[in-house]
Amino acid sequence: MTVVVPPITDVAPSGQGSNRFRRRPRQRMTWARRGFLLVTLGLPFAFYSVFVLWPFVQAFIYSLTNWSGFTDTFDFIGLKNYTALLHDDIFLKALRNNLLLALVVPIVTIVLSLALATMVTVGGESTGAVRGLARSSVYRIVSFFPYTIPAIVIGLVWAQMFDPSAGLVNALLTGIGLDQFKSFAWLGEVSTAMPATMFVIIWGFVGFYMVLFIAAIKGIPAELYDAARVDGAGRLRMTMMVTIPMVRDTIQTAYVYLGILALDAFVYMAALNASGGPQNSTLTITQDLFNTAFKKGQFGLASAMGVVLALLTLAFAGIVFAVNRFTGGKDS
């Protein structure tokens, strides 16, 4: 019997490596490849530069001027607008309000949304297969409904509900015997204007982030919950040890988006308290920016406010990503 041995082509001469491990020659950049890169990368970057990057640069340039917004001439004044903001009590008050919103709104919204999502998905019976509450689809629809309503409509509706004389909130409270809330101005008192505003924002977004967390929890293998249940873990411990670590990146994304919303919140504030609330208790940077630009005609100073708000937003996102990274996130 004759055995035919195929030639060995991958063995290189002595002192050389195998052909399989040799570096492939670089492919030539053909016109077709250049055209593909131009269409898929060049055009999107061009649009992004024109409609996103350039407005930021333009706003920074205007922030260094005394432009009134309605003339074609202006003078460069350097950093005087930024110095003026540091001594502007109204702007500093608006900055504190924005920071308070960015601290409270994301945390409360995420906690409520995650709690509701956990109950709907894995908060059912403690025996048998892991499942959510009965008729959970009804809860999803009801909780998601506020998100389908435009923000301006939500603000106007709740402004009427908080009305001191004809509002539904005071009517319900006085109806159950709480007469101290008769003609109570929820949006007219310093102590309640900001909490009432936060409640409206949270109410409008809890349903959306609940659905977001439901989708993330549905992607967690059921075996993890079964194993935790076998080990004797209760509902709270399963949430802390299984659910939260597995949806950590989703929580991070939700926190960034909610923080950006809280740092803006112009629509809600304009609908609930267009004047900034009593003693500017609900005034935000965007409201102050709008008043400075279109009521005072100081577009240069307003541009400086916009630059500060943009930097504040970027810093907020950076802090969230950094905290997630250094506390054991997937990006670490």
In a domain, 208, yes or no: yes
Model pLDDT for residues 235-289, shown as the tens digit of each residue: 788 888 888 888 998 999 999 999 999 998 899 999 998 888 899 999 999 999 9
Per the domain annotation, does 332 fall within a domain? no
Whether residue 174 is contained in a domain is answered as yes
SS3 for the chain is CCCCCCCCCCCCCCCCCCHHHCCCCCCCCCHHHHHHHHHHHHHHHHHHHHHHHHHHHHHHHHHCECCCCCCCCCCECCCHHHHHHHCCHHHHHHHHHHHHHHHHHHHHHHHHHHHHHHHHHHCCCCCCCCCCCCCHHHHHHHHHHHHHCCHHHHHHHHHHHCCCCCCHHHHHHHHCCCHHHCCCCCCCCHHHHHHHHHHHHHHHHHHHHHHHHHHHHHCCCHHHHHHHHHCCCCHHHHHHHHHHHHCHHHHHHHHHHHHHHHHHCHHHHHHHCCCCCHHHCCCCHHHHHHHHHHHCCCHHHHHHHHHHHHHHHHHHHHHHHHHHHHCCCCCC
Q: What is the pLDDT of residues 214-232, one digit of tens each?
A: 889 888 888 888 788 787 7
Co-location of 74 and 99 in the same domain: no
Assessment of whether the complete model's pTM goes beyond 0.85: no
255 and 112 belong to one structural domain = yes
Q: Is residue 148 assigned to a domain?
A: yes
Confirm whether 20 is domain-assigned.
no
Mean residue pLDDT of the chain comes to 84
Residues 245 and 208 both lie in one domain: yes
More confident residue, 201 or 331: 201
pLDDT one-digit tens code per residue, 97-114:
999 999 999 999 999 999
